[in-house]
Structure 1
Amino acid sequence: MVAIAIENTPEVRERLARIIAETCRCDAEPLLEGMPFASVIEQFDSLAMLEILLAIETELGVDSESLMRRADSETVNLEETFPEDLSSLIQLMKVVLDNNPGAQSAVLQKPEQAKAKTVMEASAQ
């Protein structure tokens, strides 16, 4: 699978904001404006945080356990370590993926990349 680096670009911000808005039933626009999750998501607790991480894993292929794990601690308290806003979440994802490339599968492929990959795979068989 082809993966691209996670960067704080409009495409990545919009996709993550959409994922979070759909998961937590909130408006994506304040997230894009940099408002803290706790100000935008009505019930922003550890369950909401876990649902966000699982939705990111499902949609983007980024391992949720890798996002929750910290090098200095086996046990993670999500409420203490979860990023406060969209930019912080993107930064965490970037650090995790830079340090652990295995934590990523197909992330944010552009349609033409996915199509080219499919054609290449089909011709190799």
Structure 2
Amino acid sequence: MIGVVQCVVLDCPEPRALATFYQGVLGGEVDRPDPRWSVDDDWATLHVEGGPVLCFQRVAEYVAPEWPDPRRPQQFHLDVGVEDLGVARAEVLRLGGTSLDDSHEAWSVFADPAGHPFCLVRE
């Protein structure tokens, strides 16, 4: 095991509004203080009982998916919390992942073998 799911991140045009929508659906607390990240106009969170944290990330010029049109696919990614980012990076590459951005000290972006992006985030 490399790490644990830290959160699920959904791209959107208005992070806090979408977090509030999902709060109405799932309950939970919007933008609860959490040492793993900070919230601002571009990032909102929803902590729910019994599940991973949902995070909402502003994307400039957001284009919504159109189900089931594969030309406009679903848009989200996993953040995987890891203790040792260097070890986790190496293991993901060994398993067949592709590095997309490893220029940050606290996190790296990878693609899985099918091309889906995910992040390794130092806990």
Where on the TM-score scale, by shorter chain, does this alignment land: which range?
under 0.3
Q: Which has the higher helix share?
A: 1
Which structure ranks higher in relative contact order (CA pairs < 8 Å, sequence separation ≥ 6)? 1
